[in-house]
Every structure is written in structure tokens, then in C-alpha cells.
Amino acid sequence: MRIGTVGTGFITNYILDNIEKTDGISCHAVYSRNEDSARRLAEKYHIEKTYTDYERMLSDDSLNFIYIASPNSLHYSQTKSALEHGKNVICEKPFTATAAEAVELIRLAKENHLFLFEAITTLHQPGFHWVRKNISLLGSIKMISLTFCQYSSRYDSLISGKLPNVFNPEFAGGALMDINLYNIHFLVGLFGKPDRIEYFAGTHENGIDTHGILILQFGDIICQCSGSKNTTCENNVQIMGEKGYIHVSPGSSNCQNSRLILRDSECSFCQKETPWYYEIQELTKIVQSNDYERCYQLLENTEIVVDILEKARKSAHLSF
Amino acid sequence: MRIGTVGTGFITNYILDNIEKTDGISCHAVYSRNEDSARRLAEKYHIEKTYTDYERMLSDDSLNFIYIASPNSLHYSQTKSALEHGKNVICEKPFTATAAEAVELIRLAKENHLFLFEAITTLHQPGFHWVRKNISLLGSIKMISLTFCQYSSRYDSLISGKLPNVFNPEFAGGALMDINLYNIHFLVGLFGKPDRIEYFAGTHENGIDTHGILILQFGDIICQCSGSKNTTCENNVQIMGEKGYIHVSPGSSNCQNSRLILRDSECSFCQKETPWYYEIQELTKIVQSNDYERCYQLLENTEIVVDILEKARKSAHLSF
């Protein structure tokens, strides 16, 4: 996997840190509209080439993968161009702003026999696999509580009157898209498509959701997903069954400590590495083993998640 | 306060334990339809009289308070009779099955200048007072998460085909009425009347809610109240503001450990006694100081809570 990156924010740094640690994947080009940003990132990670013209990077035959970490609203068009140039794509979460866009990109990837991934940590965590393996021990599951509240440094900027991308409706921002999404991926990874979706959002005066609680129902299982970018708290996932519960901390994006508590026994599982390490390891493994089936399975989850996000926004009358 | 009790379940034992520890309050009669139950309880607590006829106990001039801990659906009629006999009343939670019943009882108490209390632990906890005193330090409050899930021994009985009172729609049972109510009281104690009420209930085949998540909104503050009687988990209350959060454990019925976490400081508060100790101490103090104003203030909360319970049941299409 010979990668070219789009975007120079902190998430790109996390990904590049872990590309360096992983065999079979390497970065060879950095694209940014801003030449200085591109150069700074390329120097830090000893990357040969920089581009300020996206089309030119897509025409670079030495690259076979594009990693996209631009503002949310650009994911669709940049991923589409990359696929049309025959490049495989890893696109940051949230995958696209609308469900229709997701469907189109997935169709395009399949038609052209390309790999396409949403870069979401949740499903690649060993802790998440451990939860999925043990969940049947809980008996009939009744409720799940997922909390991911993280005060964003950019929230200070928002309330001081500026408009950072993550709080900009035009850039498909907000707490649901940016953070509660991890809670949704966790649930979709366990149960697939929900039967009911209701979002209760707290909004800034520009209409963006800064915090909110999403209710998802899967049959008789009732789940609450709390996500905010303007508060913090003790985050976790609690899966409650008739016979016991599973407690995951710090939560749905990083299943570091998972515990299974039954009436008369208890056991636990601990991850040692960062979430991005596992993500890069697993995506590389899928590509090296030519496992398109697993790739398209993961895209099914992505498609369900993007659909939930859209329906949730509608239920809360959010503007984009 | 010279008390006669109604009901012989474990909650009556908790209350009698704490009546023994408190000056100014004592129990002198036990009523039960079942003479054996009445005698057993009377012997355990060295109480002089037993009654199997409720009207006869209400005519006993040596009693000036009735403590009612019968099945929920009887609270209204038994409280009404007691008030009509000129007795002051402490009635277990949930106060009544419907909002109209609550309104009528409160009117009756005021007209006859009688004390009337809902026996709810939450509002009388020193930990709750501490939360209320410190909440302004959190800045603008955005979300509150309240979780109270407790596996009921009677749930085993329900799934084995029996019908214990707490899971009987005819007795106004269910998870919302019996346990999520504490979460509601906590919020009403802080913010009064909510602007939005939506309940998502999981039900048994008899139509009773065994678990559920209630969304309450107070202006821009979005709250989730999880309550179940068929699962267990790590219970707590988390109040999230722009400047920090408050964490209360084990939760809304017992504010034993409360912590305030701000960006650069932290402090905590710890209760030593049981919730019922504080409840009995505070009710006794209110009566001894003839503080009808405080009593009627508390009844305002009760009236709001009963109204929320009714609207929540309607929103989830529950049968009573």
C-alpha cells in the first residue's frame, strides 16, 4: 500500500505515526491546498513528494491508495475522484454527509474492484472483538448506554465568535457526525440496522448540534448514545443483559478496558496499543490478503451508519 | 409524630429502622390485611398495636401520621382516607398512579392543613443538597445522564410466569414508576418542570415496562434517564457543563459519593448514613418546626413528577 494523504490535521499525524509502525504500508505523498502545511508534514515523516493540486496527486502512478482526512463535506467529492482515478481509498469518519453519497461511492468502488474503507477505529479494536465474542454470555440484552463526551478545543473558538469546520453546518460538522458516530458504529457493529432512530440535539445559534442524545432501538434493545463536544465526563459503554453486563472504558472509540460482570464471575480484557495502531494493522491485513469480502462487509456497516446519521439529523430538524 | 404503618415489605423495615434512630417520631400501630404479617412486624419493632381493618386504624386517636407502603395502585385511596380522617400522611413513591389523583390529594392536604409527604429519598440526601449548591460552578449545563438499573428478585418470578405487584399493570407497577422515578425526582429537584418528555420502553408480554430510557429536556439541557428492573450495571448521575462535570454514585436514590471535576480542580462530598436515615430525619424536622411551606414545596415537585410519569407512559403507549 503506497499512500498519498489529504489533510494535515492531528488525525493525519496519528495515522502516519502508525503507518510508520506497520509493514506493508507506507506514505509517499502529501496533498494540501497550503504548500507550507504540506511541506511541514512531509518533512516530519520523511515523505518524498508534496502536492497542492489534488488531480495531479491522483495521476501519480506510484500511489495506489489515497487517505482522505479533509473537512467532512469534501469526503464525497475527493473519494469519488480518487476512485475514478483507479485509486483505493481510506476516508476518515464520518464517511459522507448523506446516505445517497455513501451508496454511490460504495457502488463505484465495487464496480472498479477497489478497496474503500471508512477510517473508523471502533470495529478494529481487539476490545470490540472481545465484546462481540462475549456478549452472548449476558443472556437477553435489554439496554445499552454509550457515552462519549469530549470538550473540543475548537468549541472555545466557536463561542468566541469564530466558525471552525467541525462546528460548521456547511462542512457537515457537529457532535453527532464527529463524535456520537463512534457510539453508532459500536452498535451497528453488534446489531446491524436499527428499528428506531430519534435524536435530541442541543444546538448553537448557527444551527449546528454541539451535544445530543440519540436513541436507537434494535428490536427490544433500547440504546442511548450521548455525544458532546462542549462538555466532558466519564465515558464508557455499558451493555446490560438479564444475566450481567459488560463495561467498556474509555468507550466506543477506544475499547481499552473491557470487563464482563456476571452474577458470580468476572473477567476482563485490556488493549495495549492506541486505537489507530489496530486500525492501520487491520486495514493493511485486509488489503494484503486481498480480502474484498471483509472490506465490503465493513462498507455495509458504514452505509447503515451514514443512513442513521441522516435520519437522526432529520428527526432533530438539523439543517443539513 | 405518632405513626401507624400500612404494608409490611422490606421498605417498611428500612423506614422503621430509621424511625427508631430518630427523636420526635415513633411507630405505634401496624396495619396489614394479613394478621400474621402485621404481628411479625409489630414484634420485630416492639410496636403495641396491630390492625387488619384500615378504617379502624384511621380512627385511632393516638396516631397522628399514617405511613403508606402498599402496592402503588392503593396509594391514592389509602392516602385520601387517611387525610379525610384528619391524619397527616407519608406515602411511599410513586405517590399516585395518575396526575389527577396527586392534584386531588395535595388539595385535600392543604385544605385540611395537614402534612403530606411522598417518601422519596433523593431530595433529602446531603449529597443532593451539595450537588444543588455546586452546580453553578459547571457553567452552562448541557447534558445530564442518570442511570439506575437494578435487577429485581421479583423479575425471576415474573419470567417464571407469576405476576408480582411491581410488574403488574393493575398495581401501577413497572420500571418507570418504581425505579426511573428516582432519576426524575433528581432532575425535577434541580430544574422543575421539563419542556419535553419521551419514554422508550421495553415491555414484558403483559404490557408492563421492565426497562426503558426517558428523555427529558429542560430548555437546552438534554437528559437521559435509564431505569431497569431486569438488568444491572454501574449506576450514577453525570451532570455535564461547559466548565466541568459532577459525578454522583451510586446515583439518584443515594447520593453517597459526589465529585465535582473542573478543568483545574476537583472536590468531593461523602454521605455516611443510609438514604432512609436522611429522609426520616428531614421529614421529622419539617414537622417539628411546623414548616408547611417546605412540605408544600416538596409536594410541588411530587406533582410535577407524577405528571411526567403519566406523560412518559402515554408517549410509550403503556397501558395504564
pLDDT in tens, A128-167: 999 999 999 999 999 999 999 999 999 999 999 999 999 9
Instruction: Name the 3-class secondary structure at A234.
Output: coil
Contact residues on chain A for B152, CB-CB shorter than 8 A: none
pLDDT value of residue A277: 98
For an interface test with A, which of B224, B225, B239, B264 has the most A Cβ atoms less than 10 Å from its Cβ?
B224
For an interface test with A, which of B153, B237, B242 has the most A Cβ atoms less than 10 Å from its Cβ?
B242
Instruction: Name the 3-class secondary structure at B129.
Output: helix
Query: What ipTM goes with this model?
Result: 0.95
Measure the N-to-C terminal CA separation of chain A; round to a whole number of Å.
35
Cβ–Cβ gap A213/B232 under 8 Å: no
Mean pLDDT value of segment A110-125: 98
B204's CB contacts (< 8 A; 6+ apart) are B158, B167, B210
Of A213, A268, A239, A49, nearest to B231 by C-alpha is A239
Contact residues on chain B for A211, CB-CB shorter than 8 A: 142-143, 222, 240
Taking the CB of residue A81, how many other CB atoms lie within 10 A of it?
17
Domain ranges in chain A are 2-119, 123-288
Cβ–Cβ gap A226/B196 under 8 Å: no
Q: Chain A neighbours among B 226-285 (CB < 8 Å)?
A: 226, 228, 230-234, 236, 238, 240-242, 244-245, 247
Distance CA A36, CA A41 (A): 9
CATH superfamily of B123-274+293-315: Dihydrodipicolinate Reductase; domain 2 (3.30.360.10)
Omega into B94 within 30° of 0, i.e. cis? yes
Cβ–Cβ gap A213/B212 under 8 Å: no
CATH superfamily of A123-288: Dihydrodipicolinate Reductase; domain 2 (3.30.360.10)
CA distance B97 to chain A (A): 25
Q: Does B212 touch chain A (CB under 8 A)?
A: yes
The closest CB to that of B231, out of A143, A212, A231, belongs to A143
pLDDT at B320 over 80: no
pLDDT at A301 over 80: yes
pLDDT value of residue B258: 98
CA distance A195 to chain B (A): 12
In sequence order, what DSSP letters do the residues of A241-303 get, joined into one string? ETTEEEEEEEETTEEEEEEEEESS-EEEEE--S-HHHHHHHHHHHHHHTT-HHHHHHHHHHHH
- CA-nearest residue to B141 within chain A is A231
Taking the CB of residue A249, how many other CB atoms lie within 10 A of it?
18
Three cell numbers, residue A209: 448540534
Could you tell me which CATH number the domain at A2-119 has?
3.40.50.720
pLDDT value of residue B6: 98
Mean pLDDT value of segment B189-197: 98
The closest CB to that of B143, out of A145, A149, A242, belongs to A149
Contact residues on chain A for B234, CB-CB shorter than 8 A: 236, 238, 245, 247
- Reported as a pLDDT band with limits 50, 70 and 90, residue A319 is confident
Which helix H or strand E contains B240, and what residues bound it? Answer: strand B236-241
Contact residues on chain A for B211, CB-CB shorter than 8 A: 142-143, 222, 240
Dihedral pair phi/psi, residue B298, rounded to 5° = -60, -35
Half-sphere exposure of B169 (CA within 13 A, CB side): 12
pLDDT value of residue A160: 94
pLDDT value of residue B313: 97
- Reported as a pLDDT band with limits 50, 70 and 90, residue A320 is confident
Task: Give the DSSP letter of residue B243.
Answer: T
Which helix H or strand E contains B131, and what residues bound it? Answer: helix B126-134
Cα B36 to Cα A136, A318, B49, B50, B217, distances in angstroms: 45, 62, 13, 10, 47
Distance CA B250, CA B228 (A): 15
Contact residues on chain B for A312, CB-CB shorter than 8 A: none
Contact residues on chain B for A200, CB-CB shorter than 8 A: 196, 198, 215, 217, 222
Mean pLDDT value of segment A114-139: 98
Of A217, A184, A205, nearest to A310 by C-alpha is A184
Mean pLDDT value of segment B37-46: 97
Nearest 10 degrees: Cα torsion B171, B177, B178, B183: -170
The closest CB to that of A211, out of B142, B212, B215, belongs to B142
pLDDT (tens digit per residue) in A178-221 = 999 999 999 999 999 999 999 999 999 999 999 999 999 999 99
Q: Does B157 touch chain A (CB under 8 A)?
A: no
- Reported as a pLDDT band with limits 50, 70 and 90, residue A3 is very high
pLDDT at A287 over 80: yes
pLDDT (tens digit per residue) in B155-178 = 999 999 999 999 999 988 999 999
- Reported as a pLDDT band with limits 50, 70 and 90, residue B201 is very high
